[in-house]
Amino acid sequence: MSSRVARYARLSADEFRARLPEALSIYVTAMRYPEGTAEQRAPMWLTHALREGWRCVAAFDADDVLLGLAYGYKGRAGQWWHEQVRHGLTRRSGTAEADRWLTDYFELTEIHVRPENQGKQIGEDLLRRLLDDVPSAHVLLSTPEGTSRAWKLYRRLGFADVLRDYHFAGDPRPFAILGRALPLDPA
């Protein structure tokens, strides 16, 4: 099934909750995670929707099928991802570098597009719509190391290396932490 985007929409927390099974299905497929991952992630995603500055943008086809989504929120000390990245960045680059990136940032937590719809500008459109008017100084994200469409998108949009070959607790794969100043350059 390969569909064209009929509309993009910013989702409220309630709309996000209603679409959660569909969104998690895209996530598991796009990230090639094993079955059962969606059930593990659902509570976390619902908790994320309660965080300060949370926002979500989704792409839909003409039949209102979710083609992709992106969400994030204002990163803060005490959040799991923040503490993981602070630890790694402080160890490798020092406290000043960690403070530079982690003082005022928006965490691009998730961005996923159905695999059959990748390479059609949807990811970039979602990312741009999500970050439009974010009041933070920076945006940060983590992505598995290795060449992918996501990597190409992030590089094309000016994301730079913040921390490479980092291993999050509980995941054996190496990740890159990428970041850039906001706002994004015009399309």
pLDDT tens sequence across 93-106: 999 999 999 999 99
Average pLDDT rounded to a whole number, residues 62-83: 97
Domains: count for the chain? 1
pLDDT attached to residue 2: 62
pLDDT attached to residue 170: 83
- Residue pLDDT, tens place only, 105-133: 999 999 999 999 999 999 999 999 999 99
This prediction's pTM:
0.95
pLDDT exceeds cutoff 80 at 1: no
Give the 3-state secondary structure of residue 67. Answer: strand
- Residue pLDDT, tens place only, 158-181: 999 999 999 998 889 999 999 999
Range of the domain at 69: 7-181
Instruction: Quickly tell me which residue has 């719509």 as its tokens.
Output: 129
Look at strands 105-113 and 138-144 and give their pairing: parallel
Active-site annotation holder among 71, 73, 154, 166: 154
The mean of the pLDDT values for the chain is 96
User: Is residue 186 assigned to a domain?
Assistant: no
Q: Please answer whether residues 84 and 142 qualify as being in contact, where contact means their C-beta atoms are separated by less than 8 angstroms.
A: no
The CATH number of residue 128's host domain is 3.40.630.30
User: Is residue 187 assigned to a domain?
Assistant: no
- Is 154 an active-site residue? yes
**Looking at 54-182, which runs of residues are DSSP E strands?**
55-60, 66-74, 105-113, 138-144, 160-166, 175-181
